[in-house]
Amino acid sequence: MTSTETEAVEAVETPAVGDAVATSETPAAPRPSRAAGGNAQTVGRRKEAVVRVRVVPGTGEFKLNGRTLEEYFPNKVHQQLIREPLVTVDKPDSFDIFANLHGGGISGQAGALRLAIARALVEVDADDRPALKKAGFLTRDARATERKKYGLKKARKAPQYSKR
């Protein structure tokens, strides 16, 4: 390198480590709450069932895969199970619930729907969390089907024993 080239290289300034670099970016505006206006979307899972729920302020109407609660879950026990989170926070007729249910069976879907509704209620109003948590509605039921083992008929059932 010649002396003129080294002078040109030295003339380029680089900011020091501690110097703040001015940028044209403005700070990001705070994001609105996901549950703005009382709307919330959540997911609930139990066994093989997956439920996606949208909760909007309304009159207490349920639409589950396009059907009413009574049509989709004719069993009163399942209906009561699903409504429990709303009754716990004294809002049984405050929200319309639209849900997409798939996978699993009837009981698994009912449990997944209850979890999704409880999670949505917490998104709408965080003050409801202690009551729902105490009642156990925010806990995901982690039990799953035990796998079948080789040498056995099912997960634990052994083949019939023959003494002779």
3-state secondary structure of 94: coil
Strand-pair partners of 49 = 46
The pLDDT assigned to 3 comes to: 58
Give the range among 5-14, 64-73, 141-150 with minimum mean pLDDT: 5-14
**Cβ 158 vs Cβ 152: under 8 Å:** yes
**Cβ 114 vs Cβ 44: under 8 Å:** yes
The pLDDT assigned to 18 comes to: 56
The pLDDT assigned to 38 comes to: 78
Instruction: Write out the H or E segment, with its range, that includes residue 54.
Output: strand 49-57
The pLDDT assigned to 32 comes to: 44
CA distance 35 to 123: 6
Give the tens place of pLDDT for each residue, 93-139. Answer: 999 999 999 999 999 999 999 999 999 999 999 999 999 999 999 99
**Which domains are present in the chain?**
36-135 (3.30.230.10)
pLDDT confidence bin for 7, thresholds 50/70/90: low
3-state secondary structure of 45: strand
Q: Tell me how crowded residue 81 is: count the other CB atoms within 10 A of its CB.
A: 16
The pLDDT assigned to 128 comes to: 92
Q: Nearest CA to 97 among 128, 77, 121?
A: 121
Burial degree of 20 (CB within 10 A; 0-12, 13-18, 19+):
exposed
Give the tens place of pLDDT for each residue, 9-54. Answer: 555 555 555 555 555 555 554 444 455 677 999 999 999 999 999 9
Instruction: Kindly report the pTM of this predicted structure.
Output: 0.74
